[in-house]
Structures are given as C-alpha cells and as structure tokens.
Amino acid sequence: MIITRTPLRISFAGGGSDLKEYYQKFGGSVLSTSINKFIYLSAVKNFKKNEILLKYSNTERVYDVKNIKHNIIRECLKYYNINNIDLNSSADLPSGTGLGSSSAFTSGLILLLNTLKCSVVNKKYIASKACEIEIEILNHPIGKQDQYATTFGGLNFIKFNMNGSVDLEKINLKSEIKKQLDKRLLLFYLGTTRNANNILEEQKKNSIRNKNNINSLHAIVRLSEL
C-alpha cells in the first residue's frame, strides 16, 4: 500500500496575485505557510483487473476512467494511464474551509500515482503538474499558490512571474520569533463551508485593483529576516 500525506495551508498576504489574470500583467507573490492538518491518500492496485474503486466522501466503482465523477481523480488517472486502483481519501478538516484542500488532494494524488508507477518526481514537478491539471485541464478558476504551498511545506515567500514561472523562497525564522508566531495563530471552524469558485471568479475580474498588495508583501518578507 502507498500512503501520502499533504498539508493544508494558510495565507497571510498576496492572495489573488497568483491568478494568471494578475501575474501576467504585474507579477505576483504570496506569503503563506503549511499547517499541521493534512489530506491523506492511500492506494493499492485493485485485485480485480480494470476495476477502479474510489472511496472519498462518496464511493465509486467503475470500469472505465471516463465514468469517474470526481473530476480531479478522473483527470489524474487519465493523465497517468491508470485503470486498476483501489483509492481511499480522508482528511483532518472538511473541504470548503479555505485552506487549499483541493490542491493538497491533487498534489498528493500526483505523488501517489507516480509512486505507484515507480516514477521518482521532485516537488517542483508535483506542484507544476497539479497546476496544469487543476487550472489548464479542469479550468478551475484558481491560482498557483496552493499547489506550491502544500508541496513544499513550511513558511514560504512564493513569487509568480509574468512568464508563468514560479520562484519559492523558504523563510527560516529565528526560533523565538517562530514560537511567538505559533502562539498567536489560532484557527477556528465556524461550522460552515463554501465553494471558492464564485469568489475567485469575481476576484479575477477585479484583480487589477489589488496591485498594491505586492509592494507590502516584499516589506513583510524583509521583516521576517530580522
């Protein structure tokens, strides 16, 4: 059995600048960190040939990848040409809570499927391939920050270049500052979830108005080095 664990994330500043409608004009950057809440995936090759058994919030048993209802699983299995798998998913927190669970799921699944095929891949490949599947293939109205945040983990300054490339800078806080940050970060579940697509669609339309976010982000990163 192959098991993957990918972290959820919180974003401090720069949200929206990872949308291509923004960074292709101005460049973009975000400051974010992974947290100790995770998406878990496990899989084995299905005993029955050409049977796909999926267990997430729903259960699916199909014999053709095209019939899979879960769009991320369907496109990932199609991309890696896998049609014989028993896949299970679970999470520490529910989806729709604004913590990047969709991209954590996609990134974890890409790592799992490559491991199942005995292919060794690095973090940059996983993050970029997750972006390709979610944004280009599935046309989800999202940006690139979640895929890189969950794949690389930790506290990062992530820069989105106008040509579409991504640069990631690890931020290593002094131990005392890190302890203070940990003590002051609180996460509360308010009992509701939401679909971010509508919010992101509106944000894409208004992305030009957020240009000033980038200048403040650079100041935040410099302060982290003190």
Residue range 37-57, pLDDT digits in tens: 999 999 999 888 889 999 999
Residue 140 has pLDDT above 80, yes or no: yes
Residue numbers of the domain that contains 6: 2-224
Q: Which of 50, 119, 109, 129 is nearest to 82 (CA)?
A: 50
Q: What percent of the chain is predicted at pLDDT more than 70?
A: 85
Task: Give me the chain's average pLDDT, please.
Answer: 88
Distance of CA 42 to the CA centre of its chain: 18
Q: Name every residue whose Cβ is closer than 8 Å to that of residue 91 and which is 6 or more positions away in sequence.
A: 37, 38, 39, 40, 101
Q: What is the pLDDT of residue 144?
A: 95
The span from the CA of 68 to the CA of 77, in Å, is: 10
Give strand pairing partners of 158.
30, 168
Q: What is the pLDDT of residue 192?
A: 72
Residue 191 has pLDDT above 90, yes or no: no
The span from the CA of 77 to the CA of 109, in Å, is: 9
Contact 33, 53 (CB under 8 A): no
For residues 117-145, average pLDDT: 96
Contact 131, 144 (CB under 8 A): yes
Higher pLDDT, 205 or 6: 6
Q: Record the tokens describing residue 88, joined without a space.
A: 């299970």
Residue 223 has pLDDT above 50, yes or no: no
When pLDDT is cut at 50, 70 and 90, the band that residue 7 belongs to is: very high
Distance of CA 38 to the CA centre of its chain: 11
When pLDDT is cut at 50, 70 and 90, the band that residue 205 belongs to is: low
Higher pLDDT, 204 or 114: 114
Residue 97 has pLDDT above 90, yes or no: no
What's the number of domains the chain is made of? 1
> For 18-36, what is each residue's pLDDT tens digit?
999 899 999 999 999 999 9
pTM: 0.85
